[in-house]
């Protein structure tokens, strides 16, 4: 039996986050519910794609 990384609740089965690969209970399974490091890393980037195509407008 696994334990939720967020609240320490025991989880039945595996609820693994695809972004940070940690195990969470159904309540904290979503990235936004456990302060997911993977998703946060993207957001702090500013949500900009580094394409550089639309640079010279």
The single-letter DSSP state of residue 23 is B
Q: Are 11 and 3 in contact (CB under 8 A)?
A: yes
- Residue 5 in contact with Zn ion, rule: CB under 5 A: no
Q: Which of 7, 30, 35, 41 binds Zn ion (CB under 5 A)?
A: 7
Letters for 16-55 (x = contact with Zn ion by CB under 5 A, - = none) are -x-xx----x--x--x----x-------------------
Q: Which residues of 16-42 are buried (b: 16+ CB within 10 A; e: fewer)?
A: ebeebebbbbeebbebeebebeebeee
Footprint on this chain of Zn ion (rule: CB under 5 A): 4, 6-7, 9, 17, 19-20, 25, 28, 31, 36
């Amino acid at each position: 039996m696994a334990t939720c990384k967020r609240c320490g609740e025991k989880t039945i089965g595996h609820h693994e986050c695809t972004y940070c690969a940690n195990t969470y209970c159904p309540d904290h399974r979503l990235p936004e519910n456990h302060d997911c490091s993977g998703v946060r890393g993207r957001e702090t980037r500013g949500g900009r794609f580094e394409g550089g195509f639309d640079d010279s407008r």
